[in-house]
Amino acid sequence: MIRSIILYFLFLPALMFAQNLIPNPGFEMKTGCPDRPGQINLANFWVSPNTATPDYFNDCSNGLDYGTEFNKKGGQVAHNGHGYAGLQFYYLNKNEFFEYIETRLDTLLVSGQLYCIKAFVSLGNSDYAFRELGALLSVTEVKSADAHKLKLPYTKLDNGQYLVDQDHWMCISGLYKAKGDERLLTIGDFSAGDEFWNIHTRCVTDSLLKSTFYFVDDVSMEAIKDSSECGCLPKTLSPH
């Protein structure tokens, strides 16, 4: 018994650092199957912080629009399991529509502690792409009465390339040093500028309508000891 207790306390720090703080990281736990737009709330613990309507996709859906492998945004087999989220972003002549997903972490963040945030994303049917998404950590819920872009301090989630892959899942990651007591994580686009990148011309254009869509799966946030522990390996793509 004493030996077991000693081993428990020896390995406790490692267990703490290996814990994913996201309560439903793969959008697997759900209260129902999606059948229309804007049903992210069907995935337990995930909500929209503004009036936009992030989608929920799950292969339990009866129709083709909100399944996984094939759906109204092109489709993708879930990175793991059966479900994932979908985020739409568009800009039309100063009319913004930016979707975000928000969740409450399992524990409060510890001041000064380093955390590694990761997610897997895949580009849906889109003519434009982003170079990054962002993660916002906050003490209280982020709320907005419209669907405009939330231009707030954020942590970049990227892999050093434009996020243009529609056939595979791309790992994106970012490093965050906690201020202390943060409890909410919000994912989306928080950039101050116009980040839309035309896939076909391989440049930023001045088109009136710019739109992109990303599937999001397997979100994680873990305490780490050193910044070198955070990042995506060179080959992190999961085959379609």
State residue 206's pLDDT score: 73
Residue at 7 is within a domain: no
Residue at 5 is within a domain: no
Instruction: Please tell me the total count of domains within the chain.
Output: 1
Quote the pTM value: 0.90
Give pLDDT tens digits along the chain (240 positions): 455 444 344 444 444 557 999 999 999 999 999 999 999 999 999 999 999 999 999 999 999 999 999 999 999 999 999 999 999 999 987 789 999 999 999 999 999 999 999 999 999 999 999 999 999 999 999 999 999 999 999 999 999 999 999 999 999 999 999 999 999 999 999 999 889 999 988 888 777 899 999 999 999 999 999 999 998 865 433 433
Residue at 239 is within a domain: no
CATH number of the domain to which 52 belongs: 2.60.120.260
- Supply the DSSP string of 141-189, one letter for each residue: ----SS-S------EEEB-SS----SSSBEEEEEEEE--S---EEEEE-
Residue at 136 is within a domain: yes
Cβ atoms within 10 Å of 51's Cβ, excluding its own: 14
State residue 234's pLDDT score: 52
Distance CA 96, CA 114 (A): 33
What's the burial of 59, exposed, middle or buried (CB within 10 Å: 0-12/13-18/19+)?
middle
Residue at 238 is within a domain: no
Residue at 13 is within a domain: no
State residue 193's pLDDT score: 86
Residue at 44 is within a domain: yes
Domain, as residue range, for 177: 21-229
